[in-house]
Amino acid sequence: MENVLSNKRHNVSGLQPCNHSEADTRIMLHLAHASQQGHKVALVRTVDSDVVILAIHFFASFGLSELWISLGSGKKTRDIPIHTLSAQVGPSRCSALPLFHAMTGCDTVSQILGCGKKKA
């Protein structure tokens, strides 16, 4: 991303009350709001891979032409083109992605329901 534009502040009180306790889902709410305000390109900076999964899942519903996720911190940051990944993965896989991610390694589920961890 070479050109970053800053817009005037917008009233986001219409997003309240919000019962999203996790920042990653709140970010999706703000992306949807930005799209409704006419923005076509967005950049999100995060260290949480869950945001990438959710962004791929929701991208088609946002109405954005481009969505970039800057993932990582310090020198280990990379820009991920969510719009490209979403197109490559396709709609059916995008819709299943959060479930697959939860079952295989997100930071909120420690095991598949009914399949406990083996003890030594």
Helix (H, G, I), strand (E, B) or coil at 41: strand
CA gap 76, 37 in Å, rounded: 32
CA gap 44, 42 in Å, rounded: 7
Query: What local confidence, expressed as pLDDT, does residue 78 receive?
Result: 94
Contact 40, 62 (CB under 8 A): no
Which tokens sit at 8?
């005037």
Supply the pTM of this predicted model.
Answer: 0.72
Which tokens sit at 72?
């990582």
Query: What local confidence, expressed as pLDDT, does residue 27 receive?
Result: 87
Query: What local confidence, expressed as pLDDT, does residue 109 receive?
Result: 46
Least confident segment among 49-63, 69-83, 105-119:
105-119
Confidence of residue 98 (pLDDT cuts 50, 70, 90): confident
Confidence of residue 5 (pLDDT cuts 50, 70, 90): low
